[in-house]
C-alpha cells in the first residue's frame, strides 16, 4: 500500500491525452490518423511515446470513432514526393480533364486546414466538381483523398446532412461525397460547411463540424450553394 501511495504522489510521470478525434488534435499541431501514425506540422512521422497522446484501441470498439470506419490507410515511411507521381499519372489517364482533378487535389490540401481558414476568414470554400458523367470527377475525388490515405474509409454517396455533420464533428480528415442523390441536402450541407454553422438535432444535440467535404455531382448546386 505504501508503494502504491508513493507511486500516486510521483510528479515525474508524464500525462497522456487520449486521441478523441481522427486528424488534427485540438490545440496542438499533431495529426493522429491511426494507431502508430502520429504526424507533426511539417509532415514528420513521430514516435507515439514521444508525444502527449495515446491511441487506446480498446475504447474505440464501442465508440463513435470505430463506428465511422474512418481510419486512414497510411503507408510508411512517409514521403514528401507523393504528389508528383500522382499528378504524372493523372494526365495520361484523364487527358484534358486532368487539370480539374489537380484542382481537386488542391481542395484536398486546403480541407486539412478547415478550422484555421474559418478562424481567419470566417468562411471556408468547399470544392465541388460537377458536370456530366465520364469526365473524371470521381477519379479526381478519389485521388484527392488518397493523398492522406482516406480514399476508402471516407467515401460516401448516400446520407443525410445530419449524418455527414455528425461524422465531421469527430474528425478533421475530409470526407468525399461522390454523386450524391439529393441536390437539396447537399446544397444545405455545403452552405453550412462554408460558414462553419453548427447543427442541432433532437438526439445528437448541437454539433460543430471540424472538417469539411470534397464533392462531385452530376447536378448543378443551387444558386445559394454556388
Cell numbers for 137: 470527377
Q: Which CATH class is domain 80-217?
A: alpha beta
- State pTM to two decimals: 0.74
Average pLDDT for 6-13: 55
The pLDDT of residue 202 is 46
The pLDDT of residue 4 is 45
Q: Where along the chain do its domains lie?
A: 1-78, 80-217
CA pseudo-torsion sign 178, 79, 25, 46: positive
Is the per-residue pLDDT at 103 higher than 50?
yes
| Greater pLDDT, 94 or 185 | 94
Q: How far are the Cα atoms of 84, 85, 134, 135, 144 from residue 80, in angstroms, in the given order? A: 9, 11, 31, 29, 15
Is the per-residue pLDDT at 16 higher than 60?
yes
Please give the torsion angle defined by the CA atoms of residues 142, 148, 150 and 151, in that order, rounded to the nearest 10 degrees.
Answer: 20
The pLDDT of residue 62 is 47
Amino acid at each position: 500500500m505504501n508503494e502504491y501511495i508513493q507511486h500516486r504522489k510521483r510528479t515525474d510521470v508524464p500525462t497522456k491525452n487520449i486521441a478523441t478525434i481522427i486528424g488534427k488534435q485540438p490545440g496542438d499541431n499533431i495529426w493522429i490518423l491511426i494507431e502508430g501514425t502520429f504526424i507533426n506540422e511539417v509532415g514528420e512521422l513521430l514516435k507515439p511515446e514521444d508525444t502527449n497522446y495515446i491511441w487506446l484501441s480498446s475504447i474505440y470498439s464501442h465508440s463513435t470513432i470505430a463506428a465511422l470506419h474512418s481510419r486512414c490507410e497510411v503507408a510508411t515511411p512517409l514521403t514528401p514526393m507523393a504528389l508528383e507521381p500522382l499528378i504524372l499519372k493523372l494526365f495520361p489517364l484523364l487527358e484534358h480533364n486532368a487539370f480539374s482533378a489537380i484542382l481537386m487535389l488542391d481542395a484536398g490540401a486546403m480541407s486539412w486546414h478547415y478550422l484555421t481558414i474559418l478562424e481567419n476568414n470566417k468562411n471556408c470554400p468547399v470544392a465541388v466538381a460537377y458536370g456530366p458523367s465520364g469526365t473524371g470527377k470521381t477519379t479526381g475525388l478519389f485521388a484527392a483523398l488518397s493523398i492522406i490515405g482516406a480514399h476508402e474509409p471516407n467515401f460516401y454517396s448516400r446520407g443525410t446532412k445530419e449524418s455527414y455533420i455528425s461524422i465531421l464533428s469527430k474528425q478533421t480528415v475530409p470526407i468525399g461525397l461522390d454523386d450524391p442523390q439529393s441536390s437539396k441536402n447537399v446544397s444545405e450541407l455545403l452552405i453550412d460547411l462554408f460558414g462553419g454553422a453548427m447543427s442541432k438535432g433532437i438526439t445528437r444535440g448541437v454539433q460543430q463540424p471540424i472538417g469539411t467535404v470534397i464533392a462531385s455531382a452530376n447536378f448543378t448546386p443551387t444558386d445559394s450553394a454556388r
